[in-house]
């Protein structure tokens, strides 16, 4: 793992985040640079991406239908199959979110004008049930400024990839709800996504200059935010989520 160069605040923060990823020791304190602008947060992401390796997709979300979306890259090294066990201490926080994701069947390179909703949907091959494992390199998480959270890959830890269906009619996605069980106990029932129309998130992403200059490609995974909120998975715990009409995803944390 290589470290980004040291220069301005964004470069220094990126170097600290890369070190935190390598050592597992969170960063914080008076010496940590403060990032306030979204453009600087995306610069940090791009520098951290250079250290983490191949990008295989993006997470995109917003807190409400009226909020502006944000995104962060997903990495080949952080993809896990459903049903497996991940080490007890692989993540500091071990929070889970059940989400819907899209898998692209073809590239969406820049075309010099905005892509329409139908054109973007035509590039989607399947819809998947996934878990995002939420983690952070900040000692003070979640009490950080929005741009700082965005710089830290929007608190991305890893993905767990569950079952899928071929891309349905977009209208069918409006009625998806999530159930989440931990150790056989229902902790979320009829969960929904506060972002509203998640297709809007996908279209927004397709029309953005991706951080680092990498456009959307066939095979990319695009996740669209939590249907369940954050749920802690304790050591030895087993979590399973079902997203109605789409499928299931499960993961176990080691003892």
Are residues 127 and 221 in contact, defined by beta-carbon separation less than 8 angstroms? Answer: no
Cα–Cα distance measured from residue 15 to residue 144, given in angstroms and rounded to the nearest whole number: 18
Q: Which pLDDT score is estimated for 210?
A: 63
Burial 65-101 (b: 16+ CB within 10 A, else e): eeeebbbbbbbeebebebeeebeeeebbbbbbbbbbb
The pLDDT score that the predictor gives to residue 204 is: 95
pLDDT at position 6: 54
- CATH entry 3.50.50.60 includes domain 54-253: no
Angle between helices 38-52 and 9-23 (to 10 degrees): 40
Secondary structure in 3-state letters for 167-230: CCCHHHHHHCCEEEEECCEEEEEEECCCCCCHHHHHHHHHCCCCHHHCCECCCCEEEEEECCCC
Strands 221-226 and 95-104: antiparallel
Let me know: does 45 contact 73? Beta carbons within 8 Å: yes
**Rounded alpha-carbon distances, angstroms, from residue 57 to 47, 206, 207, 220, 224:** 16, 12, 15, 5, 11
Please check whether residue 216 is in contact with residue 210, taking contact to mean a CB–CB distance below 8 angstroms.
yes
Rounded to 5 degrees, what are φ and ψ at 148?
Answer: -70, -40
Residue 207: CB atoms within 10 Å = 15
DSSP class of residue 10? H
pTM of this structure: 0.94
Q: How much is the pLDDT for 235?
A: 98
Task: Specify the pLDDT at position 212.
Answer: 62
Q: What local confidence, expressed as pLDDT, does residue 2 receive?
A: 41
What confidence score (pLDDT) does residue 214 get?
80
pLDDT number for residue 3 = 46
Centroid of chain to Cα 197: 17
Q: What is the per-residue pLDDT across 150-185, written as a single tens digit (0 to 9) for each?
A: 999 999 999 999 999 999 888 889 899 999 999 999
Low-confidence ranges of the chain (pLDDT < 70): 1-6, 210-212
Q: Supply the pLDDT for residue 211.
A: 56
């Amino acid at each position: 793992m290589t470290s980004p160069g040291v220069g301005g605040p964004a470069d220094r923060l990126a170097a600290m985040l890369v070190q935190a990823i390598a050592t597992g020791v969170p960063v914080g304190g008076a010496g940590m640079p403060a990032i306030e602008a979204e453009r600087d947060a995306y610069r940090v992401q791009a520098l951290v991406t250079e250290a983490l390796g191949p990008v295989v997709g993006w997470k995109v979300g917003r807190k409400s239908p009226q909020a502006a979306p944000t995104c962060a890259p997903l990495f080949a090294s952080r993809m896990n199959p459903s049903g497996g066990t991940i080490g007890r201490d692989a993540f500091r926080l071990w929070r889970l979110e059940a989400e819907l994701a899209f898998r692209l069947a073809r590239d969406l390179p820049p075309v010099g004008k905005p892509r329409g909703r139908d054109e973007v949907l035509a590039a989607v091959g399947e819809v998947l049930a996934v878990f995002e494992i939420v983690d952070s390199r900040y000692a003070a998480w979640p009490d950080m400024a929005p741009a700082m959270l965005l710089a830290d890959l929007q608190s991305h830890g890893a993905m767990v990839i569950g079952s899928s269906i071929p891309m349905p009619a977009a209208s069918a996605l409006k009625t998806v709800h999530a159930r989440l069980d931990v150790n056989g106990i229902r902790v979320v029932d009829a969960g929904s996504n506060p972002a509203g129309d998640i297709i809007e998130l996908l279209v927004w992403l397709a029309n953005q200059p991706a951080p680092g200059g990498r456009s959307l490609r066939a095979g990319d995974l695009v996740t669209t935010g939590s249907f369940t909120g954050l749920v802690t998975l304790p050591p030895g715990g087993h979590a399973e989520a079902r997203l109605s009409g789409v499928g299931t995803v499960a993961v176990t944390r080691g003892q």
